[in-house]
Structure 1
């Protein structure tokens, strides 16, 4: 596996994927989490603004793509006093392969009073090398539970090992978008392994992450008739920061298809 550099090189407006940008489902298929990362990068660069917080990002992964150059186009849907909404479309020479929608909200004074808060978990980032269960992954993974063995809730810390785009340092928002896709395997793995491939993911953030390490804890799973829903709480090293929700479809063992 060639994983000595960035996942993409930006050449003449196209993001050209490296060989190690492939999905775990197939070596000739682009990893869906990277599409989410490119969408977040473009939306933040073209529609981010001081005082506006990316509160939601939804990424629809409606078509598999091989390792082809990607273009990203964005548009602003709404620009109000307290809300901004922007969309992104990701395409290859074969046409659109994914789309994304972001909601940005105006920061302000926190209201008084107490509310019910999601509790911080008791799972600090482990010392030492990643604990990935023997998987060969292009990112760092610390499995805190044995997936398919432990009943859960499944927990993991993840950290990027390589740049998303050559010559760039990913922002905290892009890091969160890359990690959010991981809610699918974490939330949908079963006693016989992972047999659902996600069709989308939605990330909601109360604040941006303040550490490169991001933790996810599965908080729910529902499935029937080959359709699955998974959800996770996202943490940084200071505490919980948001939620991830995915929808997924049962996937044949021979090849991923959407």
Structure 2
């Protein structure tokens, strides 16, 4: 990752976005994936503890935000022997733009015996070629490898790898890396051949374990929509196998986004 092109720069209590923090829907709008990453970063920084695992992160993206400095505040909601719950609120000077909730669970001994349902490792090889570049439109500020064209029949699959730090020159933690990748559940589960016609309102990432390296794989495994409201699901992988799932809800958007996302 480049240490000179972070998405945000810390200035006092605010995080100031760089130009490449914009999203694909509008050149003057912050990308929702970065808000999830900032929430994960703050929750981990302030509420992590050895032996407690970030098992769930829900990010509500209920307000489009222009490219303004943001602040992230967190609060501890519940702190028990086996479970900890913490919330985050992300704001600009125009008000609250997103919120998040994390559940941390105490790790322990894995139960014996076979499971009735086991998610298999996918057969998508780890990328060895340079990342794909889609000419024109919004260029993703991360490395992306697609296994099939957007909207093609069957499960959509991508490998992702971050190129830039999130804040200043801080290394990305595995939890933040997973939170950033999870937002891609929306285009993978909701895209069609002529573009993406749904914009997601949230995403919920569940993790049995954290990614072991810089590659995160996302596989679209479900989509249901009716009346302009959609829900989608993906399986999240690393190079060792599946690590969790992500679900999104989305609303139909009048203008479709091109498949260069």
**Structure-1-length-normalised TM-score:** 0.95
Partners of 1:35 and 1:126 in 2: CA distance:
27
Number of residue pairs matched by the alignment: 252
In the alignment, structure 1 residue 140 sits paired with structure 2 residue 143: yes
Q: How does 1:1-258 map to 2 (within 5 A)?
A: 5-115=5-115, 116-134=117-135, 136-148=139-151, 150-253=152-255
1:83-131 superposed Cα distances (whole Å, 9 cap, x missing partner):
0000000000001000000000000000111102100000012211112
Q: Is the 8 A contact 1:157 1:213 kept in 2?
A: yes
1:252 alignment partner, SS class: strand
1:49-88 superposed Cα distances (whole Å, 9 cap, x missing partner):
0000000000000000000000000000000000000000
Q: Is the 8 A contact 2:186 2:250 kept in 1?
A: yes
Distance change >3 Å, CA 223–CA 254, structure 1 → 2: closer
Q: Is the 8 A contact 1:227 1:249 kept in 2?
A: yes
2:43 alignment partner, SS class: helix
Partners of 1:238 and 1:245 in 2: CA distance:
22
Q: Is the 8 A contact 1:173 1:208 kept in 2?
A: yes
**Structure-2-length-normalised TM-score:** 0.94
Q: Is the 8 A contact 2:29 2:64 kept in 1?
A: yes
> Any stretches of 5+ residues in structure 2 without a counterpart?
none
Partners of 1:248 and 1:254 in 2: CA distance:
13
> Any stretches of 5+ residues in structure 1 without a counterpart?
none
Q: Is the 8 A contact 1:58 1:200 kept in 2?
A: yes
Partners of 1:124 and 1:97 in 2: CA distance:
37
How many angstroms does 1:132 deviate by? 4.0
Partners of 2:37 and 2:256 in 1: CA distance:
27
Q: CA RMSD in A?
A: 1.4
Q: Is the 8 A contact 2:4 2:169 kept in 1?
A: no
Q: Is the 8 A contact 2:195 2:256 kept in 1?
A: no
Partners of 1:42 and 1:194 in 2: CA distance:
30
2:234 alignment partner, SS class: strand
